[in-house]
Amino acid sequence: MLRIKRVPTVVSNYQKEEVVGAASPVGGCGRNCLKSCCIQEAKLPLYAFKRVDNVSGKDLPLLECKEQHVAFLDSLILGEWEDRMQRGLFRYDVTACETKVIPGEYGFIAQLNEGRHLKKRPTEFRVDKVLQPFDESKFNFTKVGQEEVLFQFEPSNDGEVQFFPNAPIDVENSPSFVAINVSPIEYGHVLLIPRIFECLPQRIDHASFLLALHMAAEAGNPYFRLGYNSLGAFATINHLHFQAYYLAVPFPIEKAPTKKIAKLNGGVKISKLLNYPVRGLVFEGGHTLDDLANTVSEACICLQHNNIPYNVLISDCGRKIFLLPQCYAEKQALGEVSAELLDTQVNPAVWEIGGHMVLKRKKDYDEASEANACRLLAEVSLSEERFQEVNALIFQAIASVEMNVKSQCLEEVDAVNSSTQPAMVPGSHECLVLQ
């Protein structure tokens, strides 16, 4: 079985908003950041991945996750991450966090992470707007130290995997970076920042989502998942990024049963979650990686345009994607969340919705139960009625880009083209609690 090596974290308060009185090198600001003041002549490792978007559907099983297989990208992430441990770039020791599986049907995982609560960067933008313009004055990833970047992640020019340990940074072509999360949730917690110098706001597009699937496929590790939080669904930084980390047990959502509701001409199967506290869609398959990426990103773009907060979990080495519209922040703003849940200060983002409960208080960790976890997730989920309305929007968006949903598979969404479909007003929906 593949083992995830763990070493003690060297803790520091390295990352500061400002460095007062620091000596500035010639042409730099003194923080060795990624902005123009410091990036000139800088070099970083470059991992050039092989494109797999032309792989035929019958060949996709060759990309299957295998626990015995250790891909180069997988070892690169862990090796570079451990190096940053030894250099003291993290805000607390994540390897010291207590973790347990909560008894019950779902097998929720609870982690006590008091350091993340105390030292994580606060949210700096409105939580009621999924799309907001990038604001240079707020924290963004061009302000981090170059030491926090593990490597550049770009497609190979010749179709083969290549690694350059000391590559120039092509600022004008805005490479994508993989960097550590200085407030980690789990071992190997990293950020994928697409086209970093374009300073894109936190909104998914086709290219960025395809890049995330490439990273999942290249890592080839079933314990490595990528997640995405939109604004309004507990993203804390309005600069386009995905998160990823290693967890050596299945997420409860990965074990949930599903029911197929559609099959697209591109081979993508769409299902809905069954018997899980949060309603959501599951996307799998596709003749090419592009088919899967285009379908899911089109659904995400639809949610963004309709001001519907959502989370995405990329599982099974990029072969399975969970799309989870949610309404917790909206209910919180309306005063509809109980004081008991608010007191936990748990913000249910992609990892919590997937079943990895990151708890901030020892009391909540000691008293963690399946009933408490379900109570939280019930507040996150859309009502059945609202979920069907959102599904109708998503299928309309997919159909509008000529992906041609097969009509015989649409029993669950047969109202998509109905003239009786309720008019949708972006951002005006009502979220109901699961009973």
3-state secondary structure of 216: helix
What are the CB-based long-range contacts (under 8 Å, 24+) for 112-116? 112/359, 112/360, 112/362, 112/365, 113/185, 113/358, 113/359, 113/360, 114/360, 114/361, 114/362, 115/91, 115/183, 116/92, 116/183, 116/184, 116/185, 116/358, 116/360
Residue 411 exposure: Cα atoms within 13 Å on the Cβ side: 5
Residue 23 exposure: Cα atoms within 13 Å on the Cβ side: 1
Q: What does the block give as tokens for 108?
A: 């929720």
φ/ψ region of 244 (left if φ > 0, alpha if ψ in -120 to 50, else beta) reads: beta
> How far apart (Å, rounded) are the C-alpha atoms in residues 107 and 241?
28
Catalytic residue among 189, 214, 239, 241: 241
Rounded CA Rg of the chain: 21
Q: How distant, in Å, are the alpha carbons of 191, 333, 356, 383 from that of 229?
A: 12, 18, 15, 20
Q: Is 69 one of the annotated active-site residues of the chain?
A: no
**Which residue has 């979990």 as its token pair?**
313
Catalytic residues: 241
